[in-house]
Every structure is written in C-alpha cells, then in structure tokens.
A and B are shown apart, each in its own frame.
Chain A
Amino acid sequence: MLLMLEEQHKKHLSFLTSVEIDVVREFCRISIEFIRKGANPKVYQGASQKLGVSVETVQNGVEGLMYLLTESSKLMVNEIDFQDSIMTLGFSEGLRQELLELYVQSRHEVRCILSEMAMDLPHYHNLEWRFDVEVASRSLRHQTTPKILLKLHTEDSGKKEVKVLQTDPVNLVHLTNVLDGALQEMKSAYCRRIVRNIK
C-alpha cells in the first residue's frame, strides 16, 4: 500500500532536499525524540538560527517527518512501498536510504506509542485465588461450605483496579470449562479462516 502524501506535506518536506545530509540526520533524530516525548519548540529556534532559515520552516520540516513516520507506521507500509511513496518528494538516493533506515528502525516503537493512544477497555491483569472452607458463621454453626475467593486485577489505561469475588466449586468448574471453550474457539477452522483472510 502506497502512502498518499498531500501537496502541503510535500512542500514542507522539500526543505530537506536543500540541506546537508547530516542536517537531515539531525532532523530525523529530533523527530523521533518528539514522537517519544512530545515537541519542544525551543529546539526549532536553535536550529533555525544555525541554518539561517525561519523557525516555521524548521518546524514544518520536523513535523513533516514526524507525520511521515507516524502515518507509515500506522498503516504498516512495507519497505518497498515506503521507498516508492517518498520517491515523489525528490530526495536524493542517500536521503531516501537514510529515511528508510529510520522508518524500519523506529516502526516498532512508533506503533507501540500509537497503541498506547488507542482506546482501552478494562483488561485482565492478574488473578489470585484462595480456597477456603467456611466452618461457621454467626447465623449458622456446623457448616463446611467450600468457597473459592478470587482477587481479580484489571487495568484500564494504566489505572489498576482490584476486585474481590467469590465462587463455589461447581461454578468454578463451569467457569473454567466455558472459558476453555472460548480459547478453543480461536483454534476453530472458522476463526483461522477469518484470521488468514484479514492480513
């Protein structure tokens, strides 16, 4: 799948063709840094003075690179398609290689960052269990009631939550069987076919 670059985006990136490759490397480093930690406008000022261009041009260049990297990581563009996509930008062979290397190296990390931004549901984190036998209570003496106490740890966007639940042996077996069935479902021919076709 090819990346469709907008005219404005191309214009912003075209600045990179006019500078030394070392400068482009520096721009790439800054872009990745900004994707990781957020933008720091002070850096633009320093670079613009050094290069003798406007702050806006530097900012557009860096942001253009950031956008290029996040878009291609988002779509998981493969290496050949990435190269073909940036062909239209009029970069030199060396610069294209530089960008490709950067993309391949940072692709995984950028996707991790993107996946953190995606919406999250409360998800399973851990389960602790304990087997108790209740032998007496205020309202009923002389009992032997087996109980399984469960401590369910869930996590929602980094926020951890703990729930204490209980169940009895019959329901525990039922629970286990139903969830085991759910696991087996993923191995069924139907699910495998779906997985194979959505690639």
Chain B
Amino acid sequence: MDLSSPTLEDLALAGDSVHVPDDVFSVLVKKLFDGINDGNERNISFLSENDRYKNVDKAAVKQAYGGLVTMVTEAAKNDMEIESLSSLLEDCKFSGDRIAALSKAFLQHKPQIQILLNSIGNPPPHIVDIDWRLDYYIKNNHMDKVNEPVYLVSLKTEEAGKPGLQEVQLSCSLEQLQDLVGKLKDATKCLEKDGTVIIYTFQLFNTIFDEYEVPRIAVSLHGQNGAYIDIKTHIFNT
C-alpha cells in the first residue's frame, strides 16, 4: 500500500503526542470509525465541546484525523495485514500503545468498512425482494371468457443513488411464469454445483496470484448453456 507523502505527514502528526495528546488520540480513534460509518459523525467538534481540550491545536488534530481516515480506508481497501499496518505506523513514529489501540479498532471495524467500500459504484438495480399477486383474468371490453390466470410480479430493487426500494413490475401468464421459474432454478442449481467450486478456486487463485503479483482473473458462468465456463484475464490492478 502506497500512501502519498502529505498523508504520511498527517499520519506522523497523529502519532505525535505533542500535537495529539493521548486522551485526544483515543477519542479521535473512536470518532474516526464513527465518521466512516455515519456521515453525520464526520467532524472533530468534540474538541470545542469540552473545556479539557481547549489548549489542543485543532488544526493539527484535523490534519491527523484526515491522515487516519485515509490510512484506514486504504488499509481496508487492500485488506492489509496487521503486521504491515503496524510497520507503517511505526515508520510514522506511533507509540506501541497507539499502534495496539488503532490495530484493535481497525480489526473490529474492517468488515463493516469493506461492506461500505463494496457498495461504492454504479451497479445495475439489485433485486432484494419480490411480491406477486394471482389474478384470474375473466373478460375485457373486447372479449368474454378469456379465463386464464395472470400473475402480477413486482421485483423490489435497491438502486445506487435512490432512497428506499424501487419496483420493476411485470405480468406473466402461467406458461411465462413457468418459464421464468425454470430459468431461475437453472441459475440456482448452477450456483449450488459449480458456483461454490468456482468461488473456492478463485480464493485459492487470488492467494497464489497475490504472491506473484499476477493480474487477477474474472470468471463468468453463462446462463442458458449452464455448464459453459468462460475465463478471461482482466487487469484490475494496474
């Protein structure tokens, strides 16, 4: 993981007990993770709310805060080991106590931060639920005795940048729904059989590739033909 020199300077400030006293540091670490998880907590107003901190150099704490946020998100992004994190912090003149406190908090919050990082992007609407209604279509203004079942299906989706759930609505005749369910079952089966194997192989590949710094690969298993597996190499890390 490479951090820019201004970030390293900010980090060094966070490790410096002259600019950031120990009691401020411990609050800062807590605020740091709160701020990553919740946009409303992204400030260092605790310094002005308590008279205890009135002699603290606010500009320095702000700088240190910025450096710590960058470091923590970068470390989560690269899934950094605690050892390399410690050595990085040591280089920035952090004391043993501060390294231990930060590492502990980092480990504790890492999964949550990675979930947040994973949600960044602009993927297609993500289906999270489904509603259906069964109607028996009897007649319309042009025709009597239509007499066939109609399913009204509503897919609930989560979309990037839109609050709450969105809906995709469609109707299906009995045959169409049978077709739809058949295809979904195919997809589910493929996940059960090949999917777990592939994901497992992947994790294995990625560990090997990490060692040799080989470009990562992407696999896609195409529908319709079920077993057809397509392996492409993509350079994700350039």
Query: Is the A/B pair a real complex?
Result: yes
Docked complex Cα distance between A167 and B125 (Å): 8
Q: Does A80 contact B (CB under 8 A)?
A: no
Q: Does B198 contact A (CB under 8 A)?
A: yes
A172 B177 Cβ-Cβ under 8 A = no
Q: B199: which A residues are within 8 A, CB to CB?
A: 133, 144, 146
Q: Does A127 contact B (CB under 8 A)?
A: yes
B218 A176 Cβ-Cβ under 8 A = no
Give the shortest distance, in Å, between A131 (CB) and chain B (any CB).
4
B223 A74 Cβ-Cβ under 8 A = no
Give the shortest distance, in Å, between A48 (CB) and chain B (any CB).
30
Q: Which of the four size classes fits the interface of chain A? A: 35 or more
> CB < 8 Å: which of B127, B186, B190 contacts A171?
B127
> CB < 8 Å: which of A124, A144, A198 contacts B180?
A124
> CB < 8 Å: which of A117, A150, A182 contacts B134?
A182
> CB < 8 Å: which of B78, B217, B224 contacts A135?
B217
A130 B171 Cβ-Cβ under 8 A = no
Q: Does B84 contact A (CB under 8 A)?
A: no
Docked complex Cα distance between A173 and B153 (Å): 16
Known: A133-B218, A135-B236. A74 touches B144 (CB 8 A): yes
Closest to A173 in B: B188
Known: A124-B177, A131-B195. A76 touches B145 (CB 8 A): yes
Complex interface bits, B207-231 against A, C-beta within 8 A gives 1, otherwise 0: 0001000001111111110000000
Q: Does B117 contact A (CB under 8 A)?
A: yes
Chain A facing B: main interface SS: mixed
Known: A135-B218, A139-B118, A165-B124. A123 touches B79 (CB 8 A): no
Closest to A145 in B: B118
Docked complex Cα distance between A132 and B123 (Å): 13
A130 B222 Cβ-Cβ under 8 A = yes
Q: Which of the four size classes fits the interface of chain B? A: 35 or more
Give the shortest distance, in Å, between A31 (CB) and chain B (any CB).
17
A114 B142 Cβ-Cβ under 8 A = yes
Closest to B172 in A: A124
A166 B126 Cβ-Cβ under 8 A = yes
A175 B130 Cβ-Cβ under 8 A = yes
Q: A185: which B residues are within 8 A, CB to CB?
A: 134
Which residues of A pack against B, CB within 8 Å? 74-76, 111, 114-115, 117-119, 121-125, 127-133, 135-150, 152, 154, 163-169, 171-176, 178-180, 182-183, 185-186, 191, 194-195, 198-199
Given contacts A137-B236, A169-B195, A172-B187, 20 further A-B contacts (CB under 8 A): A115-B146, A121-B171, A123-B171, A131-B220, A135-B217, A135-B236, A138-B120, A140-B114, A140-B120, A142-B206, A142-B210, A144-B199, A148-B191, A154-B170, A165-B155, A171-B126, A178-B132, A186-B134, A195-B147, A195-B149
What are 27 A-B pairs at a CB distance below 8 A? A115-B143, A118-B146, A124-B180, A128-B223, A130-B222, A131-B194, A132-B219, A133-B199, A133-B218, A135-B218, A137-B120, A139-B118, A140-B117, A142-B206, A146-B191, A147-B123, A165-B125, A165-B127, A165-B155, A165-B157, A167-B128, A171-B126, A174-B129, A179-B132, A179-B177, A179-B180, A186-B134
Q: Which 7 A-B pairs have the closest CB atoms?
A: A129-B223, A131-B221, A140-B117, A136-B236, A167-B127, A139-B120, A121-B171
